[in-house]
Structure formats: C-alpha cells, structure tokens
Amino acid sequence: MKPIATDPQLFIGNRNRLRGLLPRNAVVVVHSNDILPTNADGSMGHFQNADLYYLTGILQEESILVIAPDAYEEKNREILFVREPNELATIWEGHKLSKEEATQISGIQTIKWLADFPTVFRSLMCEGEHVFLNSNEHARAADEVETREWRFTRECQRRYPLHQYHRLARLMHPLRSVKQPQEIELIKTACEITGKGFRRLLSFVKPGVNEAEVEAELVHEFTRHKGCFAYNPIIATGVNNCVLHYNVNDQVCQAGQLLLLDVAAGYGQYASDLTRTIPVSGKFTPRQKEVYNAVLRIFNEIVRQMRPGKTTRDLRKETERLAEQELLGLGLLKSADVAKQDPDNPLLKKYFMHGVSHPMGLDVHDVGFPSAPIAPGWVLTCEPALYIKEEGFGVRLENDILVTDGDPIDLMADIPIEADEIEALMAK
C-alpha cells in the first residue's frame, strides 16, 4: 500500500500498551518481513510485518524494533534499527530512512543502524530474563516459507538457551483487536474508497463486459485515491458466484447472470472488506431477488447482534439458524428432512459453508482469538451468503461493522445494498 502520513502518537500509544503487559526484565524483538523472490533476479514488492508497523509505523525492509523497558541505560529501553543509507542503494532502490526521519515516523528517540544490532542486543540479553519473540499465529496461516522472524528465533535460542522465551503473539492479538480512533479513521477511509469503486461499477457492468475489465475499473478508482486492493479481488460471474475464493477474473458477463464482487480497498496499511452481488443486466430475476432478499434479511439481523460479549462462533451459529429458515422458505430444504438431519452435518451446509464474521484491520483477516468475546473497538465483517449451484448462482453480502458499547456502527452503511437501489443506480 502507498505510505500515508500517520500521527506517531498512534505508534507511541501502541508501544505503551504493550509495555503494560510485559513482566520485569523483558526484551521484545520484532522484525520486518523479508522481500520475497519470484524467479531469476525478480522479487515481489515489500509488504511490511503488520506487528512491526503497528508498533512503529515503519514500512522499510530490514528494520528491527527492540523494547526493553527495564534496561539499565534509558536510551536502550526502546530502539529501532534500520538500514544505513548509502549512495549505491539510493541509486538502485531509492530513498532510505535517515535516523531523524525514522524518529519522526515512529516517535522512537533511539535509532541505530543495523550493523549495531548484534552488540546492542547482546548487552540487553545479558540484562534481560524474559524474551518475547514474534511469529505468525493466525489459525489459517500457511507456514511453508520460513520468515525472517523464524530464522532469528532459531539463532537467538541457540545463542541464548537459558532465557525464558515467550510468544509475543499472545500479547499482540488482543492489542490489535481493539482499534484506536486513528485506526478506525483509516479503515473508514478505506471503506469510502471502496464505495467509490463500487458505485463506479454500477454504471459500468453490463452484458459483454469481461471480469478483467471490471477489475481494471476498480484499479483505476482505488489507485487515484492512494488506495489499492486490500486482497486479491473476487469478480465472479455466473456459476463462479459459488466458488468462494474465485479470482481468475477472466470470464465474460452474460445477460441474466449475477456478478459477485468481493472487492475492497486498502488505505494507509489498513484494509476494508466488501461483497456485493449485482445483476449483469441491471435487473434481478424474481428468483434472484428472492434469494438476494433472504441473504439481506440474515445480514441485517446479524449486524444487530454484533455486540460486546458474543463470539464470532455465536454469530455463525445464529447465522446458520437464520439461513436454515430462509432455505426452507426458498424451497431448498424440507422440514421433514431438517427434522432428521445429522446435527454435525446440517443440510444448510450445502448452501452456506463458511463463517459469517472475522476481525479486520492491518490484515483483512486480522489477528484475534476465535474464543475471545467481542469487545468495543473491534471491527468485524458481516458476510452471510447462500450458494445455489444447481440454479447457477450464489449471493453474498458483506459490510464492515464497528462494535461499540451501544449499537454497532456499519462503516459501509452508505454503500448501496438494497436490491431496488442497486437496480435503480444501474438503470441510470
């Protein structure tokens, strides 16, 4: 994502909240992500470690944050290590942060070059007792590629085997789950950009348009507002509505089909997440609208239930109960069959087989503990769906919801979702 100037008080506050969770004589180390290779001499663009960004605001590769609140030297209680700029790197890669710039972004006063890390870290380890190292503990993470943090963990434990090691993720997950006001504003901006992109599509989609052209319209709209895709876009026409993570995006939109759009913008490192399902011809068939409105009723009810104290599992169970009732009304399930179904494999799973809500923030599927009760400050998706493969279409709707002490706030409430409104806008 493009860098967006952010008040360093956000990162200072985040570090202070982390410090409050640490035991005496703790040492915390957080690394940037690697730049991953492609083929030959190619590489992907750098995508920063979300925890490092959360604590520093730094987007540069090969950066290391060390927090040691009880270090003897006060200047060593919070240190950011960055690459030392040089003329060759500037020519080939562009500008690298000066120490002064790193302080302006992060609010960290002690900035050192990477070459100083081994000596300084050894000094802190001689003082420290508890070492908190980071890893990706998202339940759905794929760990085929060894990260910079895993390499460091292995080497650190080899050199200092007698320290007490701890998982930093256990502290970072609850911290990141509750969004600070500045984070909420960044997510709101991502939602606003997403809304602009969706409205652009309502006047663009028609029979004969290719899914790739739809994607291109979103690229234009997101980029001009300094946003980008928050995740690989799903632009699925026809029966591909029923492929949950379809992203080939190369089929022609045909008259009478539905186009499922799971597409959203990221802004300032923060994600939004939207799904809409629209009629390619500009008007739903009676059956399509019947299913659409069934999903919308589920959506509206689950949003109302997104309050502190519940878990995402509670929301899923309620969604499944509502989906079962709607499927009966749509004639897709029969009461007699439901009465004798296997409770561990309910019949509704044929038509609704995924979760209804996940946390979002720096990652579109943000960190958090599935068993943790929802709390004020969480931002969650609400995404019920019904997929009717035998009828050649599916419908999914999704908005981003801010949980508060009172009523939940739909951060995408101004993005069209009612079937009649979508038809009216497409008719223009």
Average pLDDT of the residues in 86-92 = 90
Give the span between the Cα atoms of 236 and 259, in whole angstroms.
6
Task: Report the percent of the chain where pLDDT is more than 70.
Answer: 100
Q: Across residues 38-61, what is the average pLDDT?
A: 94
**What are the chain's domains?**
9-176 (3.40.350.10), 181-427 (3.90.230.10)
Q: How far is Cα 380 from Cα 275, in angstroms, rounded to an integer?
A: 14
Quick: pLDDT tens for 357-378.
999 999 999 999 889 999 999 9
In 3D space, the residue among 118, 213, 113, 108 whose CA is nearest the CA of residue 160 turns out to be 118
Task: Say how far apart CA 218 and CA 420 lie, in whole Å.
Answer: 23
Q: Is-contact 403 308, C-beta < 8 A?
A: yes
pTM equals 0.96
pLDDT of 244 reads 96
pLDDT digits (tens, 9 = 90+) for 394-424: 999 999 999 999 999 999 999 999 999 999 9
Question: What does the pLDDT read at residue 2?
Answer: 84
Per DSSP, 55 falls in state: H
Per the CB < 8 A criterion, the answer to whether 231 and 244 are in contact is no
DSSP, collapsed to helix, strand or coil, labels residue 249 as: coil
pLDDT in tens, 8-35: 999 999 999 999 999 999 999 999 999 9
pLDDT (tens digit per residue) in 147-174: 999 999 999 999 999 999 999 999 999 9
Average pLDDT (329-354) is 96
- Round to whole Å and give the CA distance between 39 and 309: 48
| Residue-level pLDDT at 140 | 82
Residue 403 to residue 131: CA distance in whole angstroms: 34
**Per-residue pLDDT at 141:** 83
Across 196-245, where does the E strand assignment appear?
Answer: 228-229, 234-237
